[in-house]
Structure 1
Amino acid sequence: MTTASTRTVSLRPDLQLALSEAGSGRPIMILHGGGGPFTVAGLTAQLAVAAHTIVPTHPGWNGTERSEWFSGIDDLALAYLHYLEDADLRDVLVIGSSLGGWIGSEMVLRDGAGLITGLILLDAVGVQVEGESIRDFFALDARGIAEYAWHDAERAYIASANVSPEQAARQRANLETMRVMAGHPYMHDPKLLRRLGRSDVPTLLIWGESDRIVTPAYGAAYAAAFRNARFETVKEAGHLPQLEQPAATFALIDEYLQAGRPV
């Protein structure tokens, strides 16, 4: 098993990034969604066997510091691009889950240096699709989250009821940070969809068939906006297929990687 190391990188006096790194090889930046880094931990363990994984904790998540000016998805996208530039990383694959997918999409559009050569989105938010609204996550209680975000809703609801008080407090704080970063307009940039056609980065979009936060139809429209993208669904999975169906999700990612620079 590859052991991860953690460190804090200062991009400027009032902007620090908490990073977890493991493995060696092609750099892969893995961006978590609103639930925090644990939602991509399995991906990291899988990919660090043959690659150099870089997993930032978004500023403000899990108790990390966030300056008041740092308040949008564009801030996150630019911060991570600046890190890649400062670290002189090339041929980078970016993988983003949910909110992290939105960040990844914004990154490839701003990557004038061509550092990013691959993009994988897992049930990403970030675009506005006519007739396919993004479920208001902030309005859902624990039962609603289980119902809309998971294929196995009952199992997810039972698990959510068994978290420790510390975990519950962290989840609430993460949710409030997400509200600041992505709540207005809610979970999207109205202009992003039409801009995605400027990207020729090979992109794979993986979607849980049971996702009712952002439906597969939403995902298909997201994929169609890219110049060079493929859309795949995962059976018996909701908004986090890497947690509900890790084997099927990893198989799609492995196929993408083995293809060289596919799609």
Structure 2
Amino acid sequence: MTGSDSGIAWVRIDGSGPHNLLDAGALSALTRILARFVDAPPAAVMLHGGESFSAGADLAELGHMNAEEFAGLLDTELDLYELVERLPCPTVAVVRKWCQGSGAELALACDIRIAGESARFCLPEVAAGFPAPVHRLARLVPPGVATELVLTGRRMGAEEAVKAGLYTQVVPDSELDAAAFRLAERLAVLPSPAAVATTKEWLRQARAGEPFDRDALRARATSIFSDWLDGRR
């Protein structure tokens, strides 16, 4: 499920079926792998699904659960999204074909999303009878777009999705792997993991509407600057 190249961790979603359904086993496996990077982060994490990123939850599995089991699965999902969002290193979703439901939520938890032209973004939870966790979507796209997507469950093509801000880049499917490698190479040479982790933390705070703490910013930036100076001597 994982591979490493030039300090980059390539993590493959290993779900069920041809479209990488995120069943309980796949969610737990991803969580175990990514949890290793909290204290020992690589230069970046590239999250991909091979031929298809992920079509989301396994409805057949859900149909055999009781309410308590469903709540446990939901906790596992939410913990995974938060883990991805809070990793100190850059995280990139490399999206081909399906990016749906919990698979879309996983992609939205990443810092950067690049997609092939075949990518289809969809949040079908409400259309299937479930409430949709939409706070990450609502931070990225205008309110009207978010509302229409979650209430209709329609599939959004890659070109429309990049214009809406869901993806940062769309390329032909045949060029997606090369584009992902080029991005990985740029991330691999970032000189200061501390600067990356700190900037990611500040971005999270800004998105959450937390008040600007000038003293904390100055202290953290000065500490990183001191490390930078030491490295030049």
Tell me the TM-score normalized by structure 1.
Answer: 0.35
Higher strand content, 1 or 2: 1
Greater per-residue helix proportion: 2
TM-score (structure 2 length as normaliser): 0.38
